[in-house]
Chains A and B, each alone.
Chain A
Amino acid sequence: MPIPRRSSDVTPTAAAIQIHELSHWYGSGSMRRQVLQGVNLTVAAGEVVLLTGPSGCGKTTLLTLVGALRQVQQGSVQVLGQDLAGAGRRERQQLRRSIGMIFQGHNLLRCLSAEQNVQMGSDLLAYLSYRARRDQAREWLRAVGLGDELHKLPHDLSGGQKQRVAIARALAAQPKLLLADEPTAALDSKTGREVVELLRRLARDSGCAVLMVTHDPRILDIADRLVRMEDGRLQEAERPTLVTQA
């Protein structure tokens, strides 16, 4: 898909994500609990990395830290060339514009049609005219196979369709990094497989790195690399799947 690159883009570096000795705690005092213990991870530009592991092992926390949604406590996190340790609210908000996010639930805006939801993503590209942003939104919906459902409200779409709209929305902002948290959780296995394959194809086409948290063993083969997390620590896992189901 021919999409203009932004000239003001983050400086191209080898890695989309570079994490070094990242630790994170929740709570304070005697309730203080460590969720991440010296995590190291590098995701190259355009690489698709899947992160697995049992519930509560800190996967989602890692995702929110990389997604600039949380303040880094200890260690260093570089996302798209920007250091997140000590980054202020405004810097993190700016960085988030270059990161696409796909959630467990679709998190679409209920009062907006599919097209308008996707345009909420492309509206972040302030340098484009309204018409260009709308056309882009339509293109993306066509790319996810929803060219005929442009004006439907999320309410009238199936679960798989909603998640595909969410993918289109995340990609419409032309991110360099896509974070996905169990995007197949609410879908049946066939739909889930389709959605994830679509996600990988579109991310590849636009040169976007993907870090995806998943429990779903059936989709592990789409990854360039598998990472397993246990008790706040990361370990590389081999591909294809010899990982047991979490």
Chain B
Amino acid sequence: MTLQRWFTALWKSRRIPLSLLLLTRQPVRLAVALAGISFAGILMFMQLGFRDGLFDASVTIHRLFDADLVLISPRSTSSVSMAGFPRRRLVQAMAAPEVEGVTPVHWNLLLWRNPETRGTRSILSLGFEPSDPLFTDPSLAPKARLLTQKGRVLFDEQSRPEFGPVAQWFKAGRTVESEIAGKRVRVAGLVGLGTSFGADGNLLTSSETFLELLPNTPPGSIEVGLIRLKPGSDALAVAQRLQAQLPPDVSVLTKQGFIDFEQNYWRTSTSIGFIFTLGAAMGFVVGCVIVYQVLYSDVSDHLPEYATLMAMGYKLTSLLGVVAREGLLLAAFGYLPAYAAGQGLYWLVRSATQLPVFMDTTRAVTVFTMIMVMCMASAALAMRRLADADPAEIF
């Protein structure tokens, strides 16, 4: 009730919307400002979208694993350079009462020969015991049985087209054979995993086949050990205990820790994060310059009018408020087209690159905040011009 009365009072005490009228009665200037803000917004959406999309894509595979804890070698730096550790550590970990099951995984980049063009390209290959669970997706298990035969692989149909028309051929009923590391393999089935930063394509095979393709692998060495815990176990506590019990030649990570480990590599050890963040910052700066220019010349053009208002008895602060509201309105009006264009461009990127670039709330809010800061900072700078409005000079 009081709130309603408050709103009524607020509504009754409203004034001429000077900021809105200043903007809308100068359509060309408004269009320039909105184009600039939208451009800056689109640039920020694209750069941040690419950055987050790339980081997200770097862990496509990591997310799929059926594991609560993951063992890796401390010498591993990322999915493209995984080091080996003794498989025994996984067996030792099974001694912990919470552990329900384990899956040793071989992990390496191998050279795949395109069956059509005969060119070779690195493909991320995982080797596991076909009877062990690997991914949380239950549809893998029946396909994994096909791998018990030697020299059979499951090919990721979302791999980039450079690996050859494997999926089309396979679906058309053809027997697809190719070479990996110089050895003949046959595609036994298709899986849908998704490409990532480090891997343009993925391949699953049995440990046996994997070792045959890479005969130099030291015996008993694996790159990744998946550990599944009994329901209700505290993964973090078990991870810490195992880390303390096991020799220092393994790192015990939670599944999220394994995802973070990979993302952290791309974030910190490569310039990707920096480049895209810099790109977004460029958009921010360009936007600032444009909004500042527009608001500054707007204030300059209307200086005698502002001086008149001061002579009439309007407070300087209420005139500063006019400029501030102009900034707010520009931010709001400029964001909408940027958001719409962002959605469209993300769709384009998704269909062209298979990168998982989506308009998520965090980024939408981030860009909105950036545009808001951009407009308000520019408005604050343009306000300094108002100090030149001297009502004594207008007579």
A interface residues (Cβ-Cβ under 8 A, vs B): 60, 63-64, 67, 69-70, 93-99, 101, 103-104, 107-112, 116, 119-121, 123-124, 126, 129-131, 153, 169-170, 173, 181
- Tell whether A111 pairs with B313 under 8 Å between CB atoms, given A64-B392, A116-B16: no
Contacts of B313 in A (CB 8 A): 93-99, 124, 173
By the criterion CB–CB under 8 Å, are A119 and B395 in contact? no
> Given the known A-B contacts A69-B392, A130-B13, are A124 and B312 also in contact in the complex, defined by CB atoms under 8 Å?
yes
Which of chain A's residues have a CB closer than 8 A to the CB of B305?
107-110
Interface presence of B22 (CB below 8 A): yes
Tell whether, in the assembled complex, residue A111 and residue B311 are in contact, meaning their CB atoms are under 8 Å apart: no
- Please, which residues of chain B bring their CB within 8 A of the CB of A121? 312
How far apart are A141's CB and chain B's nearest CB, in angstroms? 14
Contact B395 A123 (CB under 8 A): no
8 examples of A-B residue contacts, CB within 8 angstroms: A69-B391, A96-B312, A97-B312, A103-B395, A121-B312, A124-B313, A130-B12, A173-B312
B265 cross-chain contacts in A, Cβ below 8 A: none
Q: Is A103 a contact of B15 with CB atoms below 8 Å?
A: no
Residues on B with beta carbons closer than 8 Å to the beta carbon of A123: 15-16
Instruction: Give the contacting residue for A120; candidates B304, B312, B315, B316; CB below 8 A.
Output: B312
Chain B residues 295 to 333 lying within 8 A of chain A, measured CB to CB, are: 302, 304-305, 308-316
Known: A70-B392, A103-B395, A130-B11. A112 touches B312 (CB 8 A): no
Residues of A close to B18: CB separation below 8 A? 109, 111-112, 120
Contact A120 B22 (CB under 8 A): no
* B5 interfacial by beta-carbon distance below 8 Å: no
B26 contacts partner chain A, Cβ-Cβ < 8 Å:
yes
Q: Are A181 and B395 in contact (CB-based, < 8 A)? A: yes
A220 to B304, CA, bound (A): 29
Q: How far is the CA of A109 from the CA of B18 in the complex (A)?
A: 10
B394 within 8 A of A: yes
| Bound complex: CA A124 to CA B311 (Å) | 12
Q: Are B308 and A107 in contact, with the CB atoms below 8 A? A: yes
| Contacting pair B25 A111 (CB below 8 A) | yes
Shortest Cβ distance from B24 into A: residue? A111
Cα distance, A166 to B394, chains bound together (Å): 14
Residues of A within 8 A of B310 (CB): 93, 96
Complex CA gap A111/B29 in Å reads 13
A69–B308 Cα gap in the complex (Å)? 11
Q: Which residues of A contact B26 (CB under 8 A)?
A: 111
B21 in contact (CB, < 8 A): yes
Collect the chain A residues with CB atoms within 8 Å of residue B25's CB.
110-111, 153
Q: What is the bound-complex CA distance between A123 and B314, given in angstroms?
A: 10
**Chain B residues within 8 Å of A111, by CB:** 18, 21-22, 25-26
CB distance from B303 to the nearest CB of A (A): 11
Name the residue on B nearest A101 (C-beta): B311
Residue of B nearest to A109 (CB): B305
Q: Residues of A contacting B311 with CB < 8 Å?
A: 67, 69, 96, 101
Closest residue of chain A to B305 (Cβ to Cβ) is: A109
For residue B295, give the distance in angstroms from its CB to the closest CB of chain A.
15
Cα distance A70–B18 when bound, in Å? 26
In the complex formed, the residue of B with least CB distance to A89 is B316
Q: Mark B354-395, 1 if CB is under 8 A from A, else 0.
A: 000000000000000000000000000000000000011011
Q: Is the CB of B16 within 8 A of A112?
A: yes
Q: List the B side residues contacting A67 at CB < 8 Å.
A: 311, 395
A153 to B310, CA, bound (A): 21
A129 CB contact (under 8 Å) in B12, B304, B314, B315: B12
Q: How far is the CB of A8 from chain B (nearest CB, A)?
A: 14
Contact across chains for B15 and A130 when beta carbons are under 8 A apart: yes
Complex alpha-carbon distance, A113 and B79, angstroms? 66
* Contact A126:B16 (CB < 8 A) given known A64-B395, A111-B25: no
User: How long is the Cα–Cα vector from A107 to B14 in the complex, in angstroms?
Assistant: 23
Residues of A within 8 A of B316 (CB): 93
Check if B308 sits within 8 Å of A130, measured CB to CB.
no
Cα distance A125–B316 in the bound complex, in angstroms:
17
What are the residues of chain B within 8 A of A116 when measuring CB–CB? 16, 21
Known pairs A120-B16, A123-B16; list 16 more (Cβ under 8 Å): A63-B395, A67-B395, A70-B392, A95-B313, A101-B312, A103-B395, A107-B305, A109-B18, A112-B21, A116-B21, A120-B309, A120-B312, A124-B312, A124-B314, A130-B15, A131-B12
Residues of A with C-beta under 8 A to B21: 111-112, 116
CB nearest neighbor in B for A180: B395
A63, A94, A107: which contacts B304 (Cβ < 8 A)? A107
Given A93-B313, A120-B309, A124-B313: A107 in contact with B394 (beta carbons within 8 A): yes
Instruction: Report the minimal beta-carbon distance from A168 to chain B, rounded to whole angstroms.
Output: 13
Question: A172's closest neighbor in chain B, by CB?
Answer: B312
Cα separation A70 to B21 with both chains bound (whole Å): 30
Partner of B395, one of A99, A104, A124, A126: A104
Q: How far is the CB of B238 from chain A (nearest CB, A)?
A: 67
**List of A residues within 8 angstroms of B391 by Cβ:** 69
Give bound CA distance, A200 to B394, whole Å: 23
Closest to B14 in A: A130
In the bound assembly, the distance between CA atoms of A112 and B310 in angstroms comes to 17
A77 to B241, CA, bound (A): 86
| CB-based nearest B residue for A107 | B308
Q: A170 contacts which chain B residues (CB < 8 A)?
A: 312
A110: chain B residues within 8 A (beta carbon): 25, 302, 305
Cβ A129 vs Cβ B13 within 8 A: yes
